[in-house]
Chains A and B, each alone.
Chain A
Amino acid sequence: EADIYQTPRYLVIGTGKKITLECSQTMGHDKMYWYQQDPGMELHLIHYSYGVNSTEKGDLSSESTVSRIRTEHFPLTLESARPSHTSQYLCASSETGNRAYEQYFGPGTRLTVT
């Protein structure tokens, strides 16, 4: 089972601020993902990475950006937060090989933009 961490767990911030949501995993997983989960609970993929220096946009358009400079770290940044960015953000990771499909999730960051 993966150990995957997200900070902060909760964040309330004003409109226009720049924020970075942190995600780290200690299992050496190559693949990492960011999901947005709205109050309706459905998860939507917004970014993914299959390795260092590799990032792709997901199925749901997002104004956020990501980077993958180290295997274990996959931060998400919003340059200028807006109320429409209020949501829960979940980070996940998976390994290579036969278990590459098995994604393990962090606890999430609940973001509120006022």
Chain B
Amino acid sequence: GENVEQHPSTLSVQEGDSAVIKCTYSDSASNYFPWYKQELGKGPQLIIDIRSNVGEKKDQRIAVTLNKTAKHFSLHITETQPEDSAVYFCAASVHDYKLSFGAGTTVTVRA
């Protein structure tokens, strides 16, 4: 099955700086790559996703890039704010709609 690795496991950034989280996947047939944000006491929330026919997607301060050749994708958060502090998960899916998740990155934005 699909194996997704996520780095780093923890990330501390100064408010206003950028944060980057990287994920690699093993199954070259994977075609959908979402990112989820999980705040304390809540379920994961979909924040952005990208499909295999697109190299980059941006939504305000967040962006995702995909390199199919290298089988890795990244989440970029610019101008970080305290409310960006959360656990972020990457995931990958092949055609059967099931998601394989990375282990998560705990992001702390220092004021």
Contact = CB atoms under 8 A, between A and B. Distances in A.
Interface residues of A, number: 26
A107 interface: yes
B103 A41 contact: yes
Contacts, number: 55
Range, interface on chain B: 20 to 34
Interface stretch (A13-21, A67-75, A98-106): A98-106
Per DSSP, chain B at the interface is: strand
Contacts of B45: 105
B99 A45 contact: yes
B87 interface: yes
B100 A59 contact: yes
A43 B1 CA distance: 15
Interface of B: 1, 32, 34, 36, 38, 41-46, 49, 87, 89, 93, 97-104, 106
